[in-house]
């Protein structure tokens, strides 16, 4: 299953267009992280650009942090037109087909992360990704409009009317389990194994680099936990602030967020209408 993660989007027209693209080239979930304005999903421009997706607005989930958006995802690809010093970008045209099976698997979540229209991805958002990718463009024009970029990526992963039936695919742990494993390894290897400060820094960097991006199956994670337990660690997720998601928690959080956004929009009718909503021709 594909999940589109939009970080701090400001334009209701872009988000409306992305919803429409998700309906064309889905199935795909949409999660918005810290939207730029509370009226984003009730703005007239959103309705106009998402034409044909009436009744699907409620399927869009809104969260406060990138960690919430990725907690139950198994592989994360973030898109950026800007080169990063410590993270190599892959060419999406060449790399996208290798993720086709993962995108089609209803039991796995492939997160596709996009930054804001104005500033792109933050350092934190880029660091949360398993890998960075870029959409190759001409030298004269190096970036795409947000909605266009999402549409290109979704179209490249679209497999047709029926999901491919293939051999059983490798399962991966989700981001919540990955963060717990990394924190537990930090605790054991940097504090109890490393003998010097520089060694601890090298080990910590290796853990972050490898275990953020590597494919980790549940059996791999179980093996690492057995190793860490044999080395004396009995740490639990709660000790690192990495809780296990309770049943129904996501829906409850989404409903609470939706009520808060609606209340903010009602308390500021000018913002709810938006400047772009003034003077629009009547249908």
What pLDDT does residue 162 have?
A: 57
What pLDDT does residue 278 have?
A: 38
Residue 267 has pLDDT above 80, yes or no: no
Residue 262 or 229, more confident: 229
Tell me the per-residue pLDDT of 41-94, one tens digit each, with 9 for 90 and over: 989 999 889 887 777 888 899 999 999 999 999 999 999 988 877 788 999 999
The domain segmentation of the chain, as residue ranges, is 2-157, 175-240
What pLDDT does residue 235 have?
A: 87
Question: How far apart are alpha carbons 37 and 267 in whole angstroms?
Answer: 13
Question: What mean pLDDT value characterizes the chain?
Answer: 84
What pLDDT does residue 85 have?
A: 75
State the pTM of this model.
0.71
Which CATH number applies to 2-157?
3.40.1280.10
Residue 243 or 163, more confident: 243
- Give backbone dihedrals phi and psi of 243, rounded to 5 degrees, phi first: -85, 160
Best CA proximity match to 91, nearest among 18, 175, 156, 15 = 156
Confidence of residue 281 (pLDDT cuts 50, 70, 90): very low
Residue 214 has pLDDT above 70, yes or no: yes
């Amino acid at each position: 299953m594909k999940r589109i993660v939009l970080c701090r989007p400001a334009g209701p027209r872009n988000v409306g267009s992305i919803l429409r693209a998700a309906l064309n080239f889905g199935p795909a979930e949409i999660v918005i992280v810290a939207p730029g304005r509370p009226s984003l999903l009730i703005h007239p421009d959103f309705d106009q650009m998402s034409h044909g997706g009436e009744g699907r607005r409620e399927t869009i989930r809104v969260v406060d942090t990138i960690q919430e958006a990725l907690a139950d995802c198994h592989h994360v690809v973030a898109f950026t037109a800007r080169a990063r010093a410590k993270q190599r970008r892959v060419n999406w045209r060449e790399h996208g087909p290798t993720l086709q099976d993962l995108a089609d698997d209803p039991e796995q979540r492939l997160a596709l992360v996009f930054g804001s229209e104005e500033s792109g991805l933050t350092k934190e958002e880029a660091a949360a990704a398993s890998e960075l990718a870029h959409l190759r463009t001409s030298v004269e024009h190096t970036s795409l409009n947000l909605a266009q970029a999402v549409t290109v990526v979704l179209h490249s992963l679209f497999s047709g009317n029926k999901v491919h039936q293939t051999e059983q695919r490798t399962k991966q742990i989700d981001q919540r389990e990955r963060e717990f494993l990394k924190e537990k390894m930090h605790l054991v290897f940097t504090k109890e194994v490393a003998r010097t400060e520089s060694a601890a820094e090298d080990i910590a960097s290796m853990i972050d680099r490898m275990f953020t991006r590597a494919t980790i199956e549940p059996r791999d994670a179980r093996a690492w936990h057995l190793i860490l337990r044999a080395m004396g660690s009995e740490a639990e997720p709660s000790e690192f602030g990495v809780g296990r998601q309770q049943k129904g928690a996501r829906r409850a959080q989404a409903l609470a967020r939706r009520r808060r956004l609606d209340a903010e929009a009602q308390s500021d009718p000018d913002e709810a209408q938006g400047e772009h909503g003034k003077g629009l021709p009547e249908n």
